Amino acid sequence: MKVNKDVNMKNDYTKYLFFTGKGGVGKTSLACATAIKLADEGKKVLLISTDPASNLEDVLGCIVTDKITAHKALANLFTININPETSAEEYRDRAIEPFKNNASPEEIHKIREGLSGACTTEIASFDEFSRFITGEGNPEIYDTIIFDTAPTGHTIRLLELPAAWDDFLEKNPGGASCIGPSTALKSSKDRYKKVMTSLRDSKQTTFYLVSRAEKASLKEANRTSIELAALGLSNQQLLINGVYDAIDKTDELGIKIEAMAKKQMAEIPNELRTLKRMEFPLLPYNVLGVQKLRSLFNKDLQKIIIDQEILVQAESLNTKSNLHELVDALEADANHGLIMTMGKGGVGKTIVAATIATMLAHRGHEVLLTTTDPAAHVKDFINQLSVWPKTLTVERIDPKVETKVYTDKIFEQKSKHLNEEAKKLLVEDLKSPCNEEVAVFNAFSKAINKAKRQFVVIDTAPTGHTLLLLDTTGKYHQEILKTTTLNPDRITTPYMALQDGDFAKILLIALPETTPMREAEALQKDLKRAGIVPYGWVINQCLSAVKHITDPLLMKRASNEAAIINEIKDHLTNRTYIIPYIPEEQLLPAILSIYDTANVHH
């Protein structure tokens, strides 16, 4: 394994570079820094974000739209954000075009409604993204095209799509109802083949697996590496971000963080050991703007900025950890209900969900803990407990399992009076990649239903994915109200359940950093537009809630948190809950011990 810790490296970059990994590991920072480095070297670079919750604008400090735009300060850097919603709308327009002259407005409306699911959004995004690899989406010739991708589960799904649709369209040449006529795809089968050939060619494409020196993050990178290799995408490199090296070797917290990172790196999964690897240090500043992005690859510039930053110590805010107050409030309201953790990848939705579920169960409540995240780590945390609370049940909404249950059920219902030929057609029809979305939605609905009798804590997938699920929920709600024969007052759809603030408590999880805060704020706005008002915010990994820090780098990062936490408290929510930074492998027991009855009196 080649490890390159000096980031002033010579690197023969391929034409297509993909940055992928668990949410919050720094994919966007590293993708932007690489784009700037190559632009500085005179290369013409196109940087594309495929993340529905993209923050390219924040990081680059320039306007990024769904049209190719030149960076204001760097003449040969161009950016574009593939907005899934815009892509889907354009896709629907193309699908409807052939029917415009010979279909009634009602029929056209019906076709448009049929194309409103999340799978349409996914296929449209891939359709758009594939055009940049074949060159058809590029008005100019670029030396390098960089893809800053959505969190891993989403990316893998995007890369699996061509094969899934290719197979499906081959067996259903008339096209599938949920994606409209196959002619609406800009990408023909030949184009998909061309795209996959380019992605599999190691002279053309490199996949950068971005991780932190943390168990969950490395586990995710390992899983991604295996899944990409299974798709024939084997030119991979590992980038470890945020590697901490203590300045004050007597700081207790610093020593722990450093030791834990070293241990994780020593136990790195086997598949990752064979990859070429680069490491990037933890910095006392937010990597925002061109100069700070340049510093990621320039040690001299990094040192200048670090020295400047550490000199300016802002007033430190000593925040108090108070998650127990949230559990007190949930318990005081009722002995059942829905609790959902939402936010960008990597902010700690899963650990917060696991902690709340365990605390409620310890207090004697019946609790179901489940997840809609394709990269589910809920069990990993719960398995850290030496004894599970008797009243806690842990499940996972597994898309593959749910799809099988759903398609088996539909087949049984619809095949009773069909002949063998019609049954074969039905089996093929049920292989549509769209059914996965419907199946996950059904499982989500069932979990919501259980919350009428007990506490149900749902750890959701990263933001973009969650918004697609909520979009499906809203479409389902409209469909039910249109087709029901019951009195609408007697119906509660999942969407209505989420809008009921007494029943559903939506918690936005963030970190005490600018970008995660802004992303949680954007999610809050999206939810409010849909009539869903978050209950409160949980700010995870707060260094400012840890006493006796002496390491200058950690002190600086802790003092940077004050402005963020105050902004959240003063302008974004009435309820703010703080969890301190805890450098422990057994994270769930460590958090629970803070709120143990010995330390906290209810």
Q: How many helices (H) and strands (E) does the chain have?
A: 23, 16
Tokens matching residue 487: 């009195």
Beta-sheet strands, E only, within 319-389: 337-342, 367-371
- The Cα–Cα gap between 213 and 398 comes to 27
Please name the residue that has the structure tokens 């891993």: 152
Distance of CA 336 to the CA centre of its chain: 28
Q: Give the N- to C-terminal CA distance of the chain in Å, as an integer.
A: 52
Give how far Cα 596 sits from Cα of 312, 326, 328, 360, 385, Å.
37, 14, 13, 12, 14
Are 124 and 84 spatial neighbours (Cβ–Cβ below 8 Å)? yes
Give dist(CA 573, CA 508) in Å, integer: 10
- Coil/strand/helix, residue 237: strand
CA atoms of 105 and 376, how far apart (whole Å): 43
Report H helices in 115-149.
118-134
Q: What is the 8-class DSSP label of residue 176?
A: B
Amino acid, single-letter form, for residue 234 = S
Q: Are 337 and 330 in contact (CB under 8 A)?
A: yes
Residue given tokens 């001299």 in the structure block: 300
Whole-number Å distance between alpha carbons of 399 and 442 = 11
Q: Quote the CA–CA distance of 50 and 126 in Å, as a whole number.
A: 9
Beta bridge mates, 205: 16
Phi and psi torsions of 338, nearest 5°: -105, 130
Which residue's entry shows tokens 């999610």?
523
- The residues that bridge with 508 in the sheet, in sequence order, are 342, 537
b/e map of 546-578 (b: 16 or more CB within 10 Å)? beebebbbbbbbbbbbbebbeebbeebbeebbb
The token pair at 364 is: 């004697």
Q: Provide the b/e sequence for 283-308 (b: ≥16 CB within 10 Å).
A: bbbbbbebebbbbbbbeeebeebbee
CA dist 293 to 166, 297, 362, Å? 39, 8, 46
Strands 337-342 and 16-20: unpaired
- Cβ contact 230:160 at 8 Å: no
Are the beta carbons of 68 and 151 closer than 8 angstroms?
no
Q: Which residues are catalytically annotated?
A: 24, 26-29, 51, 515
Residue 544 structure tokens: 């400012």
CA separation for the pair 548, 180 (Å, rounded): 61
Q: In what order do the strands lie in the sheet with 576-580?
A: 392-394, 367-371, 455-459, 337-342, 504-510, 536-542, 576-580
